[in-house]
Amino acid sequence: MIGQIGFERYGSTARRRAFTLVELLVVIAIIGVLVALLLPAVQAAREAARRLSCTNNLLQLIIAVQNYEMAQTTFPIGTVNASGPILHTAQGYHHNWITATLPYWEQYNAARAVDYSVGVYHKNNAPVRSLSFEGLNCPSAYHNFAARSNYVGMHHHTSAPIDTWNSGVFVLNKANRVLDIRDGLSQTLFLSEKQIDNNDPYAEIGRAHV
């Protein structure tokens, strides 16, 4: 009798511990709602981290520009070419502020590999142009192409070809000094982000257009 009672109690306990189909569906629904609520927050956190990384890239580049100015007493030339304006084609000399500042953001090997006796599109510079620099790619842009940059040097206050008459800091064939920045360093935009057109074959680091 005692054993039978114990068996019945054990059986009833086992039955109480089991989940019904309705209870299981309710739990699944609750988990689904929680996941739906958490996903946007996770995505927002990831995007915030990417934006922070992007901002840090800009910071490192402007520090490189400042270090270049301290060493050379001028800011790097925006783009070097025999004549202007710089057209939207992969032809010309086109060494620019990015290649000039490579040693100042610790890209020493790439800087040593640049052949300044020929243009950036020449086969001698193909090894450097095949590199993908994380410091030039914004994580929010969802791409990682070689020889392209999400950051540009500002050469004019409006959209215009790069030329000697531009009003920005990084212009054609001219190395501006601190005294040439008439509005003051704190009032002047030096670098900016740019969304790259993935279908643009000429959006390369050899260019410094906006």
Is the bond leading into 161 cis (omega within 30 degrees of zero)?
no
pLDDT at 102: 94
Q: Confidence band (pLDDT; 50, 70, 90) for 166?
A: very high
111 and 102 Cβ atoms separated by less than 8 Å = yes
Angle (CA) 139-145-151 rounded to 5° is: 60
Global pTM value: 0.71
Angle (CA) 56-86-59 rounded to 5° is: 10
Q: Tens digits of per-residue pLDDT, 15-36?
A: 556 667 777 777 787 887 777 7
pLDDT at 206: 39
Of 48-52, 109-113, 196-200, the one with minimum mean pLDDT is 196-200
Q: Tens digits of per-residue pLDDT, 73-102?
A: 999 999 999 988 987 778 889 999 999 999
Distances (CA, A) of 210 to 14, 119, 174, 178, 193: 72, 20, 17, 22, 9
Provide, rounded to the nearest whole percent, the portion of the chain with pLDDT above 70: 79
Of 25-34, 109-118, 143-152, the one with minimum mean pLDDT is 143-152
Provide, rounded to the nearest whole percent, the portion of the chain with pLDDT above 90: 38
Of 41-50, 74-83, 182-191, 194-203, the one with minimum mean pLDDT is 194-203
pLDDT at 1: 53
Tokens 């531009």 correspond to what residue?
A: 166
108 and 70 Cβ atoms separated by less than 8 Å = no
Q: What is the mean pLDDT of the chain?
A: 80
Angle (CA) 186-192-198 rounded to 5° is: 180
* DSSP H helical ranges for 19-102: 21-72, 97-101
- Percentage helix, strand, coil, to 5, in the chain? 50, 5, 45
